[in-house]
Structure 1
């Protein structure tokens, strides 16, 4: 498969997501260029940041639906890996797949940032128009009021006005729908009454400061619980409109519902920090947790025994199923004691225990992990048995250099493997 065929697959995946201004031929040409750039990053011959720039180009071409990024990530992680390394048994396959995950994460971050920039630009434009119309109302009442009402009523984002007592003067339909409160019931009621106790927080505090004359404007992204119990994320900007003497005449607020963007960002963060096959945290998230963990620490490094034979005899599909089931067993065992299990690559897993009680607890956990993995895994009607070599390290203080800890636990694991593997380690834990 060449880059041109990859571009066609990518274009097919994006078909129907939006109505771009480009023709199909132009889209395939654009995606072919982006495919060359991303493929270079997956091969390791280009900086990962090119994926961020490629996402910005895609958003500029009017691909702004969240579906566009999820489908593009699938192309990067699957089709592009197939393009670069079609043979899954190739020695470079794992490293290519790992780089593809990093490229996809950078692409997702760029896409999210470009979407946010576009949304904020539209919000600022609307805010400027609303404020300009509001300020002109004093000097040219009839013309400016008509203009303001047109902006107010027809805007797709929420706009509302308050008097100096914090009571609603008016809201447009978009704001009312965002809050889940009928527009006709809001005028004359205070913000505190409308929001309710659950939503009284930082944004309300800033409003009180504005009403007291301490600040002229604020902007905040806040959670809002609707009357029906639904949760929304709202980007709220408020400004004070003053008369010629400097007195506050009224307050105007502009709100954008960023719930979908927040959920997309959360989903992209999860995808970038978790292994796509097993759902466990990946090495990026593990090392982040490790660098901020609360000592004493216990670490178990697991390397599956006999997994290569499973792949050779049953194929990678069965091998992937085995890795998935191993991960679920590890998760169930470790999370029950408040630990973290992660997949750091291939058939290697790692377990972190914060506030570890000592070497005796770590040895007991290692034995539980051996017992957990000893039971056969049934895949497609076949019982598959894999064991694990486990290295354990107990540290009283979080190490300044994470590499030192990883080297120690890796050494302990290989000491166990050279001693026969697939059995609990004898004697005390390796300690640094």
Structure 2
């Protein structure tokens, strides 16, 4: 066992223990506040709804601990357990060239990983979501989605992996710069193609009909100077009772999307306020900033990989005896989250800061009271806990806790 193996196992153990400890804190805190609705919400949230949200959160968190342990075991089996080594030997035994072998190795690894994680997805969807009345997807549609995702992996992943491995082998010591350019271009292409080419494969999008809501939305878009290719309603109710709204795409492909479930629960002014919040992310340049941060971290990560790919201990330490570009890339993608796990609170903090700014923008453009009303309804309909453990929330949550978010908006109403 080399030093890198010891480092990896030690860090992996620390990550798992931290995840389990945070989950324990979260469960204990939510249960301790299960029977008392926070004072700020007592007029809008009943004790029954508050308890449902607590039970829903606890159920997900408890199963999340099982997922943490299961995911850790799978990672160990794939790496030091020899899973990737076995798969690599199988593909090398076919006798194709390095690039074809590497592409087949990576695609098959991703498919197998997805299949091994399928039981947890099935339990989340058909047990927990069913128990709390949120699941609406039928087994046939679930299977169809799975098949479509696998086909997309093949259609989009095959040329990307082929190009990546070719660049790693043919462009010299600075291959990681060229690979970063490829990845950046692919990311931007996906952002452009997703609204009109990819998303419709899974969901039906219809233009929001001409009514008071549409007129209010059009007025908001005009006075904020936001241009989009349309306002659409997505059939989210085919799969889940949860509601949401989002922007997607960039440039001329930007579009506004509302889940049909969200429109069922909110009034016209509340919908306008929710949209104004999403607009705030664009107007405060959060989307561009996040994109730059993501691409910057990708460049840094690939620079590190550019060094690791030449280090025999990197492969040996993670269970592979034969160095190769495809092995290095796959190992880096698998173990990277372990080495960056403790940076997560920093990213969560940045995301929560952006949410406050987007809320502030919405309060400037619409009635802050309507946004508060909409958020409370969404917390209720989505069974989001109002009393998360503060440390758990600080570590993971991309959105501020409900009480803090409402208090921030109350000062503006």
In terms of fraction of residues, the more helix-rich structure is 2
TM-score range, shorter chain: under 0.3
State which structure, 1 or 2, has the greater radius of gyration over its C-alpha atoms: 1
In terms of fraction of residues, the more strand-rich structure is 1
Query: TM-score of the superposition, structure 1-length normalised?
Result: 0.24
Query: TM-score of the superposition, structure 2-length normalised?
Result: 0.24
